[in-house]
Amino acid sequence: MNELAGKHIVLGLSGGVACYKSAELCRALIKEGATVQVVMTEAAAQFITPVTMQALSNRPVYGSQWDAREANNMPHINLSREADAVLIAPCSADFIARLAQGRADELLSLLCLARPAQQVPLLLAPAMNREMWAHPATQRNLAQVAQDSATVLAVGNGDQACGETGDGRMLEPAELLEEVIAFFTPKVLAGQKVLVTAGPTFEAIDPVRGITNHSSGKMGFAIARAAREAGAEVTLVAGPVHLSTPRGVQRINVQSAQNMLETVMHKAQAATVFIATAAVADWRPATQADQKIKKDGSGQTPVLGFVENPDILATVAQSQHALVGDLFCVGFAAESHDLLAHATAKRARKGVPLLVGNIGPATFGQDDNALLLVDAHGHRELPRASKRTLARQLVAEIAMRLPR
Ligand code: C5P
């Protein structure tokens, strides 16, 4: 999608086994449109060669503060002035200690110190053995570099190269890419607590059967991701879907409409924005059998009765929290025709300030969609695009409508 188009990133590698992931990370950054200048410490070059990193970044790698290729012989100044961000991945325990002390006796730490900190942010992707990670000295140094305005990314948990298991693994390249994209996203939802419902619900008939629908959850998951990137604290209440949770989002899995309602009512109390993208089943079986309903060979079919499910969106929109204006509610409408008329009517019926219409058959399971936004002032179309793009546009539209 070229989400990093126009960004120039200095990718710094310090020593650690995780250097093998930096090759993949370099490719991923470039694939998203960034230009990447690799700088390696001497220790990093023990783990992966500058040749590999040069080939992947299509630029000569820098490794020495005495590099005479620069006309003024000041690679630390030149490299740091042209960057939109410096990303150290992997960032070793030793390198964190060096940053905490402001040391400058090799190129990478020198350029970190010499960078104009207000304009060129520093992102660190730590990677080390779990004992090194947990050591008070490392934690003390991390707190110091964070206070000095570095952004310290999380570490993963799992098997380590040394054979031990625990915290300290560098995030995977795809996760780091998500973090870099999120870092550059304008924080239009900073301070907001966003609650999103997504996916279908599953209404059980008996322990092995139930009623559900074709909602994939993609739109809701994309919205949750975009809201988090925009700086919100995000809770995603998801029906049964097989999608991975966006980074930094709290996900709560539910099954039925009633489960979803209970979870949403609980979480809505602290939320400032509620976005209902879930395709909630309108009805559920009136009774749920405790045991599997058996076919008895007589040819007789079971008779199923139904009761209507609660309307989660309307219930939340009528809660005191929303009525006093502390919770901005956004509904969705999946229609097959006359989108504007139906979306306008639905907005009034649900009592929400913003209703987002889409054509159901054209969106279920697809990666792209088109949206029609209806509010008190009229309507606006967001033309066909990927759900990722639409989610980002919708987040911007919601941010514009929030009370200042
Ligand atoms: O009434 P309809 O199902 O068309 O309304 C769609 C909107 O209402 C969506 O935002 C959907 O998430 C929400 N909804 C709900 N609870 C229901 C039915 C729909 O929250 N029981």
At 31 the pLDDT is 98
pLDDT at 360: 79
Contact 56, 30 (CB under 8 A): yes
Contact of 241 with 254, CB cutoff 8 Å: no
User: What's the rounded mean pLDDT across residues 253-275?
Assistant: 98
Atom 7 of ligand 1: nearest residue by CA position: 332
The reported pTM is 0.94
Three-state SS for 3-46 is CCCCCEEEEEECCCCCHHHHHHHHHHHHHCCCEEEEEECCCHHH
Collect all residues with Cβ–Cβ distance below 8 Å to 383 and sequence separation of at least 6.
370
Give tens-digit pLDDT for 318-356: 999 999 999 999 999 999 899 999 999 999 999 999 999
User: Cα separations (Å) of 394 from 80, 190, 245, 357, 399?
Assistant: 35, 16, 19, 12, 9
For the stretch 16-75, pLDDT in tens is: 999 999 999 999 999 999 999 999 999 999 999 999 999 999 999 999 999 999 999 999
Biggest CA pair distance of the chain = 92
Ligand 1 atom closest to Cα of residue 278? 12
Task: Please give the DSSP secondary-structure letter assigned to residue 304.
Answer: P
Using CA atoms, how far apart are residues 326 and 273, in angstroms rounded to an integer? 8
186 Cα to the center of ligand 1, angstroms: 30
Q: What is the pLDDT of residues 280-308, one digit of tens each?
A: 999 999 999 999 999 988 999 999 999 99
Residue 108 in contact with residue 41, Cβ under 8 Å?
A: yes
pLDDT in tens, 80-93: 999 999 999 999 99
User: So where are the chain's domains?
Assistant: 8-184, 193-401
Atom of ligand 1 nearest to the CA of 316: 20
Catalytic residue among 26, 91, 112, 162: 162
* pLDDT, averaged across the chain: 96
The CA-atom distances, in angstroms, between 111 and each of 11, 106, 353 are: 12, 9, 50
Q: Give the model's pLDDT for residue 91.
A: 98
Query: What pLDDT shows up at residue 301?
Result: 92
- The pLDDT of residue 134 is above 80: yes
The pLDDT value recorded for residue 362 is: 76
pLDDT digits (tens, 9 = 90+) for 188-245: 999 999 999 999 999 999 999 999 998 999 999 999 999 999 999 999 999 999 999 9
Q: Which of 215, 313, 315, 352 to mutate to test the pocket of ligand 1 (most atoms within 8 A of CB)?
A: 313
251 within 8 A of 236, measured Cβ to Cβ:
yes
Q: Is pLDDT above 80 for 130? A: yes
Ligand 1 centroid–CA 312 distance in Å is: 7
Query: 8-184 — its CATH code?
Result: 3.40.50.1950
The question of whether 112 is a catalytic residue gets the answer no
Q: Is 198 exposed, middle or buried (0-12, 13-18, 19+ CB in 10 A)?
A: buried
Q: With cut-offs at 50, 70 and 90, classify the pLDDT of residue 359.
A: confident
Measured distance CA(304)–CA(263) in Å, rounded: 27
pLDDT of the residue at 93: 98
Q: Is the pLDDT of residue 265 over 90?
A: yes
- Does residue 1 register a pLDDT over 80? no
- Quick one: what percent of the chain has pLDDT higher than 70? 100
Task: Give yes or no for a cis peptide into 90 (omega within 30° of 0).
Answer: yes
Instruction: Assign domain 193-401 to its CATH superfamily.
Output: CoaB-like (3.40.50.10300)
Q: Quote the pLDDT of residue 278.
A: 97
Indicate which atom in ligand 1 lies nearest the CA of residue 282: 21
- Asked whether this chain's domains 8-184 and 193-401 adopt the same fold, the reply is yes
Residue 173, both tokens: 């390249």
